[in-house]
Amino acid sequence: MDGEPHARADSVEAAEKGSTLAQLLAPRHVLLGLEAADRETLFTQFGQFFEQDYGLPAADVTAGLAAREALGSTGLGQGVAVPHGQIRTLRQAMAFYVRPAKPVPFDAPDGKPVSDVVVLLVPEWANSTHLRLLADVAQRFCDHRFRELLHGCLDQRAVCQLFASYEEADGA
């Protein structure tokens, strides 16, 4: 996970047109039953996971997520949050699905805690990828049936299969 702060123009163009949410979501990117009492603890634990599995300093991940959250809550409502951040040293976008053991307060517009968290980490240069992934998350989680099916997924593979089948059904 050794990142390049400045990517070449052709690499940027290829990456910007690249991965979808379903393609980025691998079983090891699905964290079910994560213990977190609040948003800050969730970010800290996610940073530790990222450092352990990907070698990027936990502080960079936590700071990236916290910096975006300081601009306003990434809680969307209906139990969904999409914390996201730009990480200078990343070479490609990454997506993670987190289902906390208990819903986590997130200052969502409806005041409800979140039980579905999609964490997006993108390189600083990947602005259109960032926006496309955010739109993809919003589209999926606006679909009540998708959320119900997701809550029925009992393991990482089932979560990934649901994300992939949703994409296929959408014609992506």
Active site residues: 84
Instruction: Give the integer Cα–Cα distance in Å for 89 and 166.
Output: 31
Largest CA distance in the chain: 43
Neighbours of 33 (CB within 10 A): 9
Nearest to 114 by CA among 79, 140, 72: 79
Residue 60 main-chain phi, psi, to 5 deg: -65, -45
Q: Of 100, 103, 44, which is closest to residue 77 (Cα–Cα)?
A: 103
Residue 98 CA from chain centroid, whole number? 8
Adjacent-strand bridge partners of 119: 96
